[in-house]
Amino acid sequence: MLERWGERITSVVGTMWAAIAFTILALISLPAALATGDPVVIVAWVAQTLLQLVLLPIIMVGQNVQSRKTERRDNETHSAVMAAHRETQQILAEIHAARSPRAK
């Protein structure tokens, strides 16, 4: 049950919609950070609020895209290898048939 929740949360957070929502959420606190005029507060806002909230979903989206590309490439490679295997098996069967005593 917890695994399903984790999978669901991960699939929701790993979307560009989540990145947009987190960007809006982060921008809400930007005026307060800027109003302090304290560089430490502003840097902390960028590092802790903007980067952590916004980059996480974007990184997850990128990983999902890369994963789909890898899976597609692996499937294409598997299909090509299996086709070569079938062709090799067919050639071997023809060779064995040509060498069999009944063929003479």
Into how many domains does the chain fold? 1
Structural domain range at position 66: 2-103
- pLDDT higher than 70, residue 102: no
Q: What is the pLDDT of residue 6?
A: 85
33-46 pLDDT, tens digit each? 999 999 999 999 99
* Residue 44 CA, distance from chain mean position: 29
Q: Are 49 and 26 in contact (CB under 8 A)?
A: yes
Q: Which of 70, 69, 49, 58 is nearest to 14 (CA)?
A: 58
Q: How many CA atoms lie within 13 A of 27 on its CB side?
A: 6
Q: What is the pLDDT of residue 54?
A: 86
Give the global pTM: 0.61
User: pLDDT tier at 84 (50, 70, 90 boundaries)?
Assistant: very high
DSSP-assigned letters across all residues of 30-49:
HHHHHHH--HHHHHHIIIII
